């Protein structure tokens, strides 16, 4: 040993052989599994146990495949991605002040833990519009996921199905909605997100395909009828749709194809031009909601509302649910943070409709804050794409398990055993 150095003993190895240490770890892990198996009534067990799985797992391979620190996760993912893909995935509108505001809104809210409560048995099970999930967490619709991994939405669908969380599949996915459904399996909970096109027949076709493939709800995104001003994308003059990424649902659709002279494979340029003609529709109004209702009996949620008056209008027009969202800060620079808009909308609706929160969620503690402000569930976006970029399906699953673990542990440490118990009293001030 070098002079002046100190040897710090590992307490698990003092007086023990390596094999004995390994055996002790196995014993602790087995005991942990036995203890946790009867404690939680949720569909997929004690989510907080994921931390113990990492600490006590039977081998070093139990370590999570992606960083638990989401700031580090983002940094590594952005380094791994192609520069064009990194710009597209990470871009916010304008100076990206809305993207930052989303995080600042969560940081301003502080939780107020309560102690000396029996939180041994925790049940995070949540049902929204007939879709039951093991926790109040869904995967936000994100398009063109093959930018992060060749398996894209297929890997994400498999990971979501493994954990049991509902996936909201995007209209602009790299794979078709049918392929995504097949990847998740028949029992996996899933919703379909619709950008209302300029062709109502195309909208009806998308909805019919979703119904036929087992999607349980339609989420119409209303804040992206035109693309926001995103300097990161503009500086690179690059969009995935110009390169055949994110157009699969359109190129495979019979209504879309009927409008082409030649199939997309024979004339991809003409198909791409038609995609840009139909994909965004600035003429959409509340009247479109009535037309959508005529197309489907599935629950309809409106994603992208921030104003209480719009939420009340949605309720009056027959929407079944609302997702409060500013599109992750990608559309309007200087817009209100989604979390800051949540409480006003919750007050305006007074519990009339299920309310979800999207944009800025980076962990389970964030989810608790959103639930305290009136959300029935939250949607996770960019973090799972970072996991996808670093480790594919395993990366997505790890990110989801991390968020679920923090949600479960934060609830316990704040004195809650069920999602329904969380209210404004969970927040300080």
Residue carrying structure tokens 């006590």? 56
Residue 82 is given by DSSP the state -
Q: How many CA atoms lie within 13 A of 272 on its CB side?
A: 13
Residue 11 CA: distances (Å) to CA of 15, 21, 93, 205: 9, 10, 51, 64
Residue 267 CA: distances (Å) to CA of 64, 212, 244, 273: 44, 29, 12, 10
Interatomic CA distance for residues 378 and 412, integer angstroms? 18
DSSP codes of every residue in 185-246: -TTS-EEEEEE--S-HHHHHHHHHHHHHTT---EEEE-S-SS----HHHHHHT--GGGGTSS
Interatomic CA distance for residues 124 and 131, integer angstroms? 14
User: Active-site residue 327, yes or no?
Assistant: yes
Interatomic CA distance for residues 124 and 378, integer angstroms? 13
Residue 147 CA: distances (Å) to CA of 80, 104, 288, 392: 11, 28, 32, 11
Tokens of 85: 């893909």
Residue carrying structure tokens 């638990």? 68
Tokens of 310: 């719009």
The H-or-E segment that residue 112 falls in is none
User: Is-contact 182 96, C-beta < 8 A?
Assistant: no
**Which one from 44, 174, 243, 327 is the annotated catalytic residue?**
327
Contacts of 42 (CB under 8 A, 6+ apart): 122, 123, 124, 125, 134, 135
Interatomic CA distance for residues 85 and 65, integer angstroms? 22
What is the pairing mode between strands 377-380 and 126-128?
unpaired
Closest to 231 measured CA to CA, from 378, 333, 338: 333
Which residues belong to the active site?
A: 327
């Amino acid at each position: 040993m070098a002079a002046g150095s100190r040897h710090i003993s590992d307490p698990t190895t003092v007086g023990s052989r390596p094999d004995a240490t390994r055996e002790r770890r196995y014993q602790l892990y087995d005991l942990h599994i036995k203890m946790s198996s009867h404690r939680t009534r949720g569909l997929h067990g004690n989510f907080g146990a994921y931390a113990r799985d990492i600490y006590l797992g039977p081998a070093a391979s139990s370590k999570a495949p992606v960083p638990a620190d989401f700031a580090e996760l983002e940094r590594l993912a952005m380094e791994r991605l192609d520069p064009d893909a990194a710009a597209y995935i990470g871009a916010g509108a304008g100076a990206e002040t809305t993207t930052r505001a989303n995080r600042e809104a969560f940081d301003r809210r502080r939780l107020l833990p309560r102690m000396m409560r029996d939180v041994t048995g925790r049940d995070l099970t949540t049902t929204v519009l007939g879709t039951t999930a093991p926790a109040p967490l869904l995967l936000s619709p994100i398009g063109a996921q093959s930018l992060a991994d060749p398996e894209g939405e297929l890997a994400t669908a498999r990971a979501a199905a493994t954990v049991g969380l509902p996936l909201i599949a995007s209209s602009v996915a790299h794979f078709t909605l049918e392929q995504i459904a097949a990847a998740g399996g028949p029992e996996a909970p899933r919703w379909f997100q619709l950008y209302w096109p300029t062709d109502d027949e195309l909208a009806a076709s998308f909805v019919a395909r979703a119904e036929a493939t087992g999607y349980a709800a339609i989420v119409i995104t209303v804040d992206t009828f035109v693309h926001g001003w995103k300097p990161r994308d503009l500086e690179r003059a690059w969009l995935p749709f110009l390169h055949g990424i994110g157009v699969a649902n359109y190129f495979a659709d019979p209504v879309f194809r009927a409008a082409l002279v030649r199939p997309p494979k024979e004339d991809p340029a003409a198909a791409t031009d038609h995609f840009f003609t139909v994909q965004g529709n600035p003429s959409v109004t509340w009247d479109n909601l009535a037309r959508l209702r005529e197309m489907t009996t599935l629950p309809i949620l409106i994603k992208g509302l921030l104003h209480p008056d719009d939420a009340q209008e949605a309720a009056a027009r027959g929407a079944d649910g609302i997702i409060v969202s500013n599109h992750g800060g990608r559309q309007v620079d200087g817009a209100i943070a989604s979390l800051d808009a949540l409480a006003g909308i919750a007050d305006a609706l007074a519990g009339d409709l299920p309310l979800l929160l999207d944009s800025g969620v980076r962990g389970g503690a964030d989810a608790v804050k959103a639930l305290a402000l009136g959300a029935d569930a939250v949607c996770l976006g960019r973090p799972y794409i970072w996991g996808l970029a670093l480790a594919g399906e395993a990366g997505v699953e790890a990110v989801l398990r991390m968020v679920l673990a923090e949600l479960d542990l934060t609830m316990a440490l704040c004195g809650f055993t069920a999602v329904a118990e969380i209210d404004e009293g969970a927040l300080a001030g």
